[in-house]
Amino acid sequence: MVRRWLLALALTLAGSATASPVLAEGAVALARPRGRPTIVIQRVTLPPDTPRAGHWRQYLMRVLRREARRAQWGADATSTISFRFEITELRLREAEGVLHVHCSALGRLPSGRPARSSLSFGADPTKPTRAVEQVMGIVAHGVVTRLAELERQRRGAEARAWSAPPPTAPTLGEGADSE
């Protein structure tokens, strides 16, 4: 019994030691970060004429926290990522028995480009709250996903800048014009 356990342990350790990826010369190995970063939602704003703004702000905070938790930010548990979220436009209109909901949003990282999302959606006019929640959720998902992508790109560029080998100058005898 003990021999089988030791044999299984030895095979497991040997398998994990030989399963390391082989990288090309000069390639940068970026390990997947451990844990999730701390996410700070600095501000959530809505258009000034939004009815029930407190309710929608609270709903958006809940959705944004969920989406931020699910997103892959490319950062570990020691990192803190903050962003701002703004609903720039929220329109509801009813035409021919259909409720049309249009929502545009903008998200910003402190040091990055903005992420935008926009959606127009037709819904049942007897359930406007459900339609607005659904549209806001889809737009929030799109903005947070794009913000996470921007953050991963920023962190990847930062990691490559620190770990890339310095360029080498050609030595005498190298090149096409040496004879």
Domain boundaries in the chain? 38-89+102-117+135-161
Residue partners of 138: CB distance under 8 A and separation at least 6? 119, 121
Question: How do residues 99-115 score in pLDDT, each as one tens digit?
Answer: 999 999 999 999 878 99
Give 6's pLDDT tier (boundaries 50, 70, 90).
Answer: low
Backbone angles phi, psi at 22, to 5 degrees: -95, 125
For the domain with range 38-89+102-117+135-161, which CATH number is right: 1.10.150, 3.40.50, 3.30.160, 3.40.720?
3.30.160
Amino acid residing at 145: T
Distance CA 36, CA 100 (A): 37
**Arithmetic mean of pLDDT over the chain:** 82
So what's the pLDDT on residue 35?
A: 83
Distance CA 15, CA 36 (A): 28
So what's the pLDDT on residue 106?
A: 96
Helices (H), 19-127: 53-70
Question: How do residues 30-71 score in pLDDT, each as one tens digit?
Answer: 556 688 899 999 999 999 999 999 999 999 999 999 999 999
Percentage above 90 pLDDT, the chain: 61
Q: Give the CA count within 13 Å in the CB-facing half-sphere of 169.
A: 2
Backbone angles phi, psi at 74, to 5 degrees: 80, 20
pTM: 0.70
Structure tokens at 142: 């799109």
Give 10's pLDDT tier (boundaries 50, 70, 90).
Answer: low
Element (H, E) at 68: helix 53-70
Distance CA 145, CA 63 (A): 13
Cα dist from 38 to 84, 94, 111, 114, 141, whole Å: 15, 41, 17, 20, 18
pLDDT of 98 over the 60 cut: yes
Nearest to 43 by CA among 108, 134, 91: 108
